[in-house]
Amino acid sequence: MIINKFASFFSKAIPDWDPVPETHAQQYAESEWVIGANEVLLNELECWLGGFSGKKVLDLGGGPGQYSVAFAKRGALVTWHDISAAYAKIAEQKAEDHGVAIEFSIGYMDEALKLLKADYDLVFNRICWYYGFSDRSFSRTLFALIKPGGVGYVDTTHSGWHRESLSPAGQLKTWLNDCFSVKIGHPFPPHGRLAKLFLELPVEKMQIDYSTETNDRLLFRRSQVG
Ligand SMILES: C[S@@+](CC[C@H](N)C(=O)[O-])C[C@H]1O[C@@H](n2cnc3c(N)ncnc32)[C@H](O)[C@@H]1O
């Protein structure tokens, strides 16, 4: 936590700093937009929310915006938040192409509480959990952004995935985070940690999906109280 937070201070000192090269953003965006937002997931979220219409949705680490646009097309009031100006440009263009209005916010996911009002009906976090400063602190930040009674969704690769193919430095970082919760850089969280972290908080209901070998997927409702 301290180490990643410390590193973020240096990056902020560089004007127009973007950790994502434009070519990478374009390639990822192209592949994700071909796949598109998963309709089964959208329908499931819609059920949990009781409809998207008029609901406040935060796409935290929204990247190319395929989910932001899909939520907005279903009538949600969407905020896209991400560190990357390259992705913002792509997502803005996509929103325009699809004729939907989305609010754009650039910054660290961990600092979203400083920039946004913490009253979202849904906070959606897909394939970017590991960029958080630490698993514990980021779980608290994400949870605080959800309004009481609102819904959280997280889908992340876990540290069991391709662990053996990591560099020695990558393996060391993963081991430090897995065993001591010391996070340097962006190791994936250990399988099962996220569910435990959120279950320490006032959660009314949680759906845990470990059906793939690679990812932890959580869908939960924050209690009305607490
Ligand atoms: C693999 S992409 C996933 C994008 C999108 N959520 C999706 O489902 O396709 C990871 C995203 O995390 C963003 N990101 C990386 N570090 C970040 C940070 N510290 N704060 C906010 N966004 C970050 C990147 O700019 C990128 O958009």
Per-residue pLDDT tens for 97-142?
999 999 999 999 999 999 999 999 999 999 999 999 999 999 999 9
Q: Is the CB of 84 under 6 A from ligand 1?
A: yes
Residue 67 CB-half CA count within 13 A: 25
Q: Whose CA is nearest to atom 1 of ligand 1?
A: 127
Question: Is the CB–ligand 1 distance for residue 109 below 6 Å?
Answer: yes
Check which CATH number belongs to the domain holding 41 and give it.
3.40.50.150
- What's the predicted TM-score (pTM) here? 0.96
- Whether the pLDDT of residue 164 is over 80: the answer is yes
User: From the CB of 131, is ligand 1 less than 6 Å away?
Assistant: yes
Residue 1 pLDDT exceeds 90: no
Could you tell me whether strands 120-126 and 146-157 are parallel, antiparallel, or unpaired per DSSP bridges? Answer: parallel
Compute the distance between CA of residue 137 and CA of residue 143 in angstroms, rounded to an integer.
Answer: 10
SS3 192: coil
Domain enclosing residue 147, as ranges: 2-222
Could you give the residue ranges of the DSSP H alpha helices within 83-159? 85-97, 112-115, 135-145
* Closest CA to ligand 1's atom 10: 128
Ligand 1 contact, 62 CB (< 6 A): yes
pLDDT of the residue at 199: 98
| Residues 195, 179, 189: CA angle, nearest 5 degrees | 40
Does the Cβ of 155 fall within 6 Å of ligand 1? no
To 5 degrees, how large is the angle CA 88–CA 93–CA 94?
100
For residue 11, is pLDDT > 80? no
Beta strands in the chain (DSSP E): 56-60, 77-82, 103-106, 120-126, 146-157, 203-209, 215-222
Average pLDDT of span 20-38: 97
Q: Quick one: pLDDT band at residue 5, thresholds 50, 70, 90?
A: confident
Q: How far is the CA of 172 from the centre of ligand 1 (A)?
A: 23
* Residue 81 three-state SS: strand
What does residue 117 show for φ and ψ, rounded to 5 degrees?
Answer: -80, 130
3-state secondary structure at position 191? coil
Q: Which amino acid is at 138?
A: F
User: How many domains are there within the chain?
Assistant: 1
The pLDDT value recorded for residue 14 is: 59
